[in-house]
């Protein structure tokens, strides 16, 4: 029986265990997780901060999961070393004595990432975050934020990327006075162009969030706030750090695996030791960016296909990323390459800006296909354009319709404008012409028209239209002889 | 409605064009009035003798029966009994398998009972919001819309159907992604705080397991898979909080994941606290005239009368006692599996036209050609009848007595209004004629009332208990099953106190999105979906014979987005080939700007090379054995 050992019980590790068991009832699965509780859905943390979801409801598994799926789950354990020659991992309870080593046929590193803390004086003490400073990464972080963040309290968020904005929106929703400090000139610069970043900041500003762009914190004063690099002061009783993450690679480094920004893997998700794999945020694959869950889930499916032999040819070719801000009252999608100028000769670029209503759309098309887009404040268009991008569907010829997102029902036409062949009663295929003829033949009331043509006798939905025709006929035509 | 001199007069509920013109079929020149043996007119005796002799030369399980959801309760009951008692075959199923089997399976596992609507239809008039998942009643059941006049409609359909045009909110998911949408809506309902926690804890079980799946479907993820915006998902769940109904139709049910799709809709309804309360609920909209009754009394492969399970020893004993036999066959195969089984030598088809209506229809035709005996009972020369060795001309709606059970579980009396043409006999007489030649004629009465009296005894104590219903009571009473005794008033609303599971609780079923069995690819980049148009019914065998209906919708067409048509070099009115891995359909292009650019729509009412089912994918749902009619991969070409 093959033994798979998974290091890390986050979204990637938990998903891989599920995918393995779904494909193979016999394979031996061991999961070693450092946190003391069951895996949870990190994507939902912003809803926990916003107060719309409880921490409990973000759990990916319940307490019966390991037993029911015959998974050897070691909660609150750590993997200290990998003995690649013996093919074992050295383990122990956090801070405890070493336990018997666990042998593996395949080892999977799903160790995730850790928050990157900007180098401001006082943010950390002895390698830990100082009191009053919280990361936005784990369920415990959220519990701390929930416990501390009260109505009217000044809070600073370090980082104006996707997660920083989701945290800021959640905190503003709780009634905090939020200032976002961001080192770049516009928000979410990885996904947005400057104009879109500007519209987004304006929209967030209306929700009460303030911004300090092009600014770095240089010093943290506990209970008081932050000093920025231009010497100004940002009041904050709580500082939330959301300035990016870096891959957790220390175990891989100690094991002598090839590590760059993350643990380097190929399309088979193998590290430089082919018996060791890496997935999720700790892995570095050319086709993906870190910090999102979809790549980790895609990788888990591919790796499960391979490790169980279900599909030995399975390969991970990357994940096309669609960034979707999860923040109440703000609808933002960004995908593909958006940094193409409107006058770029090899692409067709459409742009629409309406900053006063928080709307911005930029579309990049190549050979009729969407290759990049930013859609802010237009939810229908965001959904439609994402589908075109994901499915490779050619964009509609009517580009304006694309920006509207959905085919809008036409304005109700006046009876006079309808052609004679227009079907009025769909249930009985009765045209305007037939109704006019019946009226001319003496059917002047609704019951008479129904009797003569059967219009309105089905679902009844055409009653208004038929009455409209009757009024129009009565008003505009000479009465029948 | 009533019939006077072949003219139809509607009841208070209204009629669509199909109903108005139904009288035309009664005296249609194409009406069958004599049995046919290899196309030659013969006497009933000769035809019956021939069929009985051929059947006798087969082993019991080499003989199959294929029934229909349009048969009266009496006929459906008699057909199931005929298969098991006269033919002694386990091989019986019916076209209802292609209709409501996914909803039935999901209803059973959620509530412990399947009745299309567990409340009277008229309750819908008090609704604030009605969600229709994959249903287009403005075309399929127009008078039904009168019950929805006061409600806000949420319509879920990949197409902008006439029903969708009347909706307050039309959610237009990509074909085959309903389950992801339902999961997204459940997730959204939780984060928007509109779920009914008190109801979930007191009246249901299993929420946590269902939630753990839905937790992975935050609205933005569901949006990416379905194309329905997160904003619309939020709008939908807020509209649904309150006096609301969730109703499913074939659009969401006819998938290889159909049962799970319906379970996901029921999960949403349960989380919102809708089922089992006056003024809200979940229901399934019936697809055929007697879709409900047709599945309760024994023409389904795994069931015995009274909605009993055929593998339940207590149920078997009860039915054996009523039928006076000491042996019954076990469960048989499902409809599609039966139609293409290569160990079947003889097939008897009643009230169905599988040559047009079954998935991957060309495979069914090939299989029918290989049979030793194909027998069809019908009143017009359907495409299946045209292939048959023996065709029996039988009565139709206005020419027979009986009962039907409508979508709300209410039993309706059908009264004979006309004598059938000379030479025509009822299905009950046909069954009796065959049974007597097989030595058990005395077990098959021909009077509907006698059959119904036996059905009452057979259903007694079952889930769908008709024992308290008499033809006499039906003259003056509205009776919804179960009606366990003659002084019982019937059960218009089920589940008000408890659901039917032993613990009285409704069950959440943890289900996850799988996607279509056949995803589009480079060779077949479009997704085809199939459905009905207003003027035609089912395989079109009846409605294609009515001049007025054919004038309105005369020929097979395919709805395509204008851009998609243009890319294939096609314009409105031109003839196209729609090609899947299983066949090619010829159809006239209709450009429809509201279509998704990656989807095409085909009505399934047309014969020959216009059969939409030449394309469809017979991938079956693992629980309901429903084929995936509603989505398959195709490409579009100039014809």
Q: Which of B224, B520, B566 sits opposite A322 (nearest CB)?
A: B224
- The minimum CA-CA distance between B107 and chain A, rounded to whole Å, is 26
Q: Token digits for B305?
A: 């009368």
Q: Is it the case that residue B13 has pLDDT exceeding 80?
A: no
> Measuring CA to CA, how many Å separate A181 from each of A193, A202, A235, A326, B464?
18, 15, 12, 20, 67
| Residue-wise DSSP of B29-48 | TTB--S-EETTEE--HHHHH
For the domain B526-638, what is the CATH code?
Answer: 2.40.40.20
In a domain, residue A207? The reply is yes
C-alpha closest to that of B639 among B562, B561, B556: B556
**What is the domain extent for residue A379?**
331-404
Q: Is it the case that residue A435 has pLDDT exceeding 50?
A: yes
Q: Across the strands, what pairs with A7?
A: A32, A109
Q: Token digits for B205?
A: 């079980």
Q: Are residues A173 and A271 in the same domain?
A: no
* Residue, of A335 and B12, whose pLDDT is higher: A335
Asked if the Cβ–Cβ distance from A426 to B165 is below 8 Å, we say no
Mean per-residue pLDDT of chain A: 90
Q: Are residues A336 and A397 in the same domain?
A: yes
In a domain, residue A412? The reply is no
Task: Please report the pLDDT score of residue B27 as a whole number.
Answer: 80
Q: Are residues A165 and A94 in the same domain?
A: no
* Chain centre to alpha carbon of residue B174: 23
Q: Is it the case that residue A38 has pLDDT exceeding 60?
A: yes
Q: Token digits for A59?
A: 């759990």
Asked if the Cβ–Cβ distance from B597 to A396 is below 8 Å, we say yes
Which of A385-389, B139-143, B458-462, B579-583 shows the lowest per-residue confidence on average (mean pLDDT)? B139-143
- Please, which pLDDT band fits residue A326 given cuts at 50, 70 and 90? confident
In a domain, residue A188? The reply is yes
Q: Are residues A284 and A372 in the same domain?
A: no
User: What's the first-to-final CA gap in chain A, in angstroms?
Assistant: 94
C-beta atoms surrounding B551 within 10 Å: 10
Q: Is it the case that residue B255 has pLDDT exceeding 80?
A: yes
Where does a domain end: A348, A371, A404?
A404
Asked if the Cβ–Cβ distance from A426 to B162 is below 8 Å, we say yes
Share of chain A above pLDDT 70, in %: 97
Task: Please report the pLDDT score of residue A481 as a whole number.
Answer: 47
Q: Is A236 helix (H, G, I), strand (E, B) or coil?
A: coil
Q: Which of B143, B215, B552 sits opposite A58 (nearest CB)?
A: B215
> Measuring CA to CA, how many Å separate A20 from each of A16, A273, A291, B534?
6, 21, 23, 48
Residues from chain B that touch A393, judged by Cβ atoms under 8 A, are 597-598
Q: Are residues A29 and A92 in the same domain?
A: yes
Asked if the Cβ–Cβ distance from B227 to A386 is below 8 Å, we say yes
Q: Is it the case that residue A9 has pLDDT exceeding 90?
A: yes
pLDDT in tens, B425-437: 999 999 999 999 9
pLDDT in tens, B395-407: 988 899 999 999 9
Task: Please report the pLDDT score of residue B12 as a whole number.
Answer: 64
Q: Across the strands, what pairs with B617?
A: B628
Q: Are residues A39 and A152 in the same domain?
A: no
C-alpha closest to that of A160 among A125, A126, A196: A196
In a domain, residue A411? The reply is no
- The minimum CA-CA distance between B512 and chain A, rounded to whole Å, is 13
- The minimum CA-CA distance between B596 and chain A, rounded to whole Å, is 10
Q: Are residues A41 and A142 in the same domain?
A: no
Q: Which of B145, B535, B594 sits opposite A429 (nearest CB)?
A: B535
Share of chain B above pLDDT 90, in %: 87
SS (H, E, C) B48-73: HHHHHHHHHCCCHHHEEEEECCCCCH
Q: Is it the case that residue A407 has pLDDT exceeding 50?
A: no
Where does a domain end: A307, A323, A350?
A307
Q: Is it the case that residue A53 has pLDDT exceeding 70?
A: yes
Q: Is B588 helix (H, G, I), strand (E, B) or coil?
A: strand
Q: Is 3.10.20.70 the CATH classification of the domain at B31-98+292-476? A: no
pLDDT in tens, B191-210: 999 999 999 999 999 999 99
In a domain, residue A410? The reply is no
Phi and psi (nearest 5°) for B459? -85, -10
Asked if the Cβ–Cβ distance from A407 to B593 is below 8 Å, we say yes
Q: Is it the case that residue A479 has pLDDT exceeding 80?
A: no
Q: Is it the case that residue B308 has pLDDT exceeding 80?
A: yes
For the domain B101-285, what is the CATH code?
Answer: 3.40.228.10
Domain with residue A431: its CATH number is: 1.10.10.1100
- Please, which pLDDT band fits residue A72 given cuts at 50, 70 and 90? very high
Sign for the pseudo-dihedral over CA of A279, A280, A285, A288: positive
> Measuring CA to CA, how many Å separate B249 from each of B233, B282, B294, B630?
20, 12, 17, 11
> Measuring CA to CA, how many Å separate B323 from each of B210, B298, B317?
43, 13, 10
Provide CB contacts within 8 A for A97, sequence distance 6+. none
Q: Is it the case that residue A416 has pLDDT exceeding 80?
A: no
C-alpha closest to that of A42 among A77, A8, A79, A74: A8
Counted domains in chain A = 4
Phi and psi (nearest 5°) for A340? -105, 135
Q: Residues for chain B: how many in total? A: 639
Share of chain B above pLDDT 70, in %: 98
Q: Which of B160, B215, B224 sits opposite A407 (nearest CB)?
A: B160
Which of A361-370, A465-474, B455-464, B517-526 shows the lowest per-residue confidence on average (mean pLDDT)? A465-474
Domain boundaries, chain B: 1-30, 31-98+292-476, 101-285, 526-638
Q: Are residues A76 and A122 in the same domain?
A: no
Domain with residue A363: its CATH number is: 3.30.390.30
Q: Are residues A9 and A104 in the same domain?
A: yes
Q: Are residues A16 and A64 in the same domain?
A: yes
Q: Are residues A174 and A122 in the same domain?
A: yes
Q: Across the strands, what pairs with B634?
A: B526
Which of A1-5, B472-476, B535-539 shows the lowest per-residue confidence on average (mean pLDDT)? B535-539
- The minimum CA-CA distance between A50 and chain B, rounded to whole Å, is 10
- Please, which pLDDT band fits residue A452 given cuts at 50, 70 and 90? confident
Phi and psi (nearest 5°) for A5? -115, 125
Mean pLDDT of A139-146: 89
Share of chain A above pLDDT 90, in %: 63
Interface of A with B (CB under 8 A): 41, 43-44, 47, 52-53, 57-62, 294, 322, 324, 326, 331, 379-380, 382-384, 386-388, 390-391, 393-394, 396-397, 405-407, 409, 426-429, 454, 457-461
Task: Please report the pLDDT score of residue B424 as a whole number.
Answer: 96
Q: Are residues A358 and A459 in the same domain?
A: no
pLDDT in tens, B481-506: 999 999 999 999 999 999 999 999 99
Domain with residue A152: its CATH number is: 3.50.50.60
């Amino acid at each position: 029986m093959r033994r798979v050992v998974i290091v890390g019980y986050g979204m990637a590790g938990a998903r891989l265990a599920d995918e393995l068991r779904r494909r193979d009832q016999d394979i031996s699965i061991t999961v070693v997780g450092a946190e003391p509780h069951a895996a949870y859905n990190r994507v939902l943390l912003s809803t926990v901060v916003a107060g719309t979801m409880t921490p409990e409801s973000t759990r990916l598994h319940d307490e019966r999961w390991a037993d029911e799926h015959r998974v050897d789950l070691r909660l609150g354990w750590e993997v200290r070393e990998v003995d690649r020659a013996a093919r074992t991992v050295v383990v122990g309870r956090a801070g405890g004595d070493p336990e018997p080593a666990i042998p593996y046929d395949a080892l999977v590193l799903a160790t995730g990432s850790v928050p990157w803390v900007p180098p401001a004086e006082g943010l950390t003490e002895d390698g830990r975050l100082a009191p009053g400073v919280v990361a936005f990464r784990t369920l415990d972080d959220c519990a701390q934020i929930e416990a501390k963040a009260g109505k009217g309290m000044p809070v600073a968020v370090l980082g104006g990327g996707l997660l920083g904005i989701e945290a800021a929106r959640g905190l503003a929703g709780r009634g905090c006075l939020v200032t976002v400090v961001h080192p770049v000139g516009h928000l979410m610069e990885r996904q947005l162009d400057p104009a879109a970043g500007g519209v987004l900041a304006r929209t967030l500003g209306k929700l009460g969030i303030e911004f300090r762009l092009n600014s770095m914190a240089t010093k943290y004063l506990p209970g008081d706030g932050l000093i920025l690099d231009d010497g100004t002061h940002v009041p904050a009783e709580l500082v939330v750090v959301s300035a990016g993450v870096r891959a957790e690679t220390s175990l891989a480094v100690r094991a002598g695996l090839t590590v760059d920004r993350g643990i380097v893997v190929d399309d088979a998700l193998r590290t430089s030791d082919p018996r060791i794999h890496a997935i999720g945020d700790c892995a570095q694959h050319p086709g993906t960016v870190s910090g999102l869950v979809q790549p980790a889930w895609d990788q888990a499916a591919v790796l499960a296909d391979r490790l169980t032999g279900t599909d030995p040819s399975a390969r991970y070719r990357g994940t096309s990323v669609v960034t979707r801000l999860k923040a109440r009252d703000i609808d933002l999608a960004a995908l593909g390459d958006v940094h193409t100028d409107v006058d770029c000769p090899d692409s067709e670029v459409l742009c629409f800006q309406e900053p006063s209503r928080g709307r911005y759309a930029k579309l990049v098309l190549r050979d009729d296909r969407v290759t990049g887009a930013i859609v802010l404040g237009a939810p229908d268009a965001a959904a439609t354009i994402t589908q075109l991008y994901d499915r490779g569907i050619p964009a509609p010829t009517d580009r304006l319709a694309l920006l509207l997102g959905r085919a809008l029902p036409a304005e109700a036409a006046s009876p006079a404008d309808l052609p004679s062949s227009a079907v009025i009663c769909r249930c009985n295929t009765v045209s305007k012409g037939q109704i006019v003829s019946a009226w001319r033949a003496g059917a002047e009331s609704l019951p008479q028209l129904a009797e003569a043509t059967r219009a309105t006798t089905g679902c009844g939905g055409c009653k208004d239209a038929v009455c409209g025709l009757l009024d129009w006929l009565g008003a505009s035509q000479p009465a029948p002889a | 409605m009533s019939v006077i001199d072949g003219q139809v007069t509607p009841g208070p509920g209204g009629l669509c064009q199909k109903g108005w013109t139904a009288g035309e079929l009664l005296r249609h020149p194409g009406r069958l009035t004599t049995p046919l043996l290899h196309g030659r007119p013969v006497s009933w005796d000769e035809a019956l003798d021939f069929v009985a002799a051929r059947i006798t030369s087969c082993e019991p399980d080499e003989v199959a029966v294929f029934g229909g959801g349009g048969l009266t309760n009496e006929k459906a009951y008699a057909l199931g009994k005929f298969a098991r008692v006269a033919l002694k075959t386990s091989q019986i199923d019916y076209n209802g398998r292609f209709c409501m089997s996914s909803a039935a399976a999901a209803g059973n596992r959620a509530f412990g009972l399947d009745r299309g609507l567990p409340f009277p239809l008229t309750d819908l008039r008090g609704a604030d919001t009605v969600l229709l998942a994959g249903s287009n009643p403005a075309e399929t059941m127009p008078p039904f819309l009168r019950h929805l006049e006061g409600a806000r409609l949420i319509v879920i359909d990949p197409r902008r159907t006439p029903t969708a045009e009347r909706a307050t909110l039309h959610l237009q998911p990509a074909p085959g992604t309903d389950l992801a949408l339902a999961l997204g809506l459940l997730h959204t309902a939780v984060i928007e705080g509109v779920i009914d926690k008190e109801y979930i804890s007191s009246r249901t079980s299993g929420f946590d397991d269902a939630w753990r799946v839905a937790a992975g479907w935050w609205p933005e993820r569901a949006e990416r898979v379905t194309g329905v915006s997160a904003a619309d998902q939020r709008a939908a769940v807020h509209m649904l909080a309150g006096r609301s109904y969730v109703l499913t139709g074939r659009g969401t049910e006819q998938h290889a994941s159909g049962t799970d799709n319906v379970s996901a809709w029921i999960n949403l309804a349960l989380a919102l606290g809708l089922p089992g309360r006056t003024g809200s609920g979940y229901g399934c909209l019936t697809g055929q005239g007697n879709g409900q009754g047709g599945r309760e009394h024994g023409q389904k492969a795994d069931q015995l009368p009274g909605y009993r399970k055929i593998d339940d020893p207590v149920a078997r004993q009860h039915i054996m006692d009523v039928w006076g036999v000491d042996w019954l066959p076990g469960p048989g195969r499902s409809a599609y599996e039966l139609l293409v089984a290569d160990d079947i030598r003889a097939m008897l088809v009643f009230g169905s036209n599988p040559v047009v209506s079954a998935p991957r229809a060309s495979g069914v035709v090939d299989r029918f050609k290989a049979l030793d005996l194909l027998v069809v009972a019908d009143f017009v020369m359907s495409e299946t009848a045209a292939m048959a060795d023996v065709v029996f001309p039988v009565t139709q709606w206005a020419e027979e007595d009986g009962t039907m059970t409508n979508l709300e579980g209410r039993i309706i009396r059908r009264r004979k209004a006309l004598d059938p043409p000379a030479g025509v006999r009822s299905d009950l007489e046909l069954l009796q004629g065959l049974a007597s030649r097989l030595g058990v004629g005395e077990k098959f009465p021909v009077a509907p009332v006698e059959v119904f009296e036996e059905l009452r005894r057979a259903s007694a104590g079952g889930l769908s208990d008709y024992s308290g219903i008499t033809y006499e009571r039906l003259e003056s009473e509205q009776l919804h099953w179960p009606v366990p005794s003659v002084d019982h008033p019937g059960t218009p609303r089920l589940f008000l106190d408890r659901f039917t599971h032993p613990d009285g609780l409704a069950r959440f079923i943890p289900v996850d999105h799988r996607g279509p069995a056949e995803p589009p690819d480079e060779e077949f980049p479009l997704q085809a979906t199939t459905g009905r148009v207003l003027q035609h019914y089912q395989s079109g065998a009846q409605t294609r014979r009515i001049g007025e209906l054919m004038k309105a919708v005369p020929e097979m067409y395919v709805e395509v987005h204008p851009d998609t048509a243009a890319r294939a070099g096609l314009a409105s009115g031109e003839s196209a080939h729609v090609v899947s891995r299983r066949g090619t359909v010829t159809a006239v292009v209709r450009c429809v700007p509201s279509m998704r650019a990656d989807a095409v729509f085909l009505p399934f009412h047309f014969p020959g090379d216009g059969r939409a089912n030449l394309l469809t994918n017979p991938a079956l749902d693992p629980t309901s054995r429903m084929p995936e009619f509603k989505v398959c991969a195709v490409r579009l070409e100039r014809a």
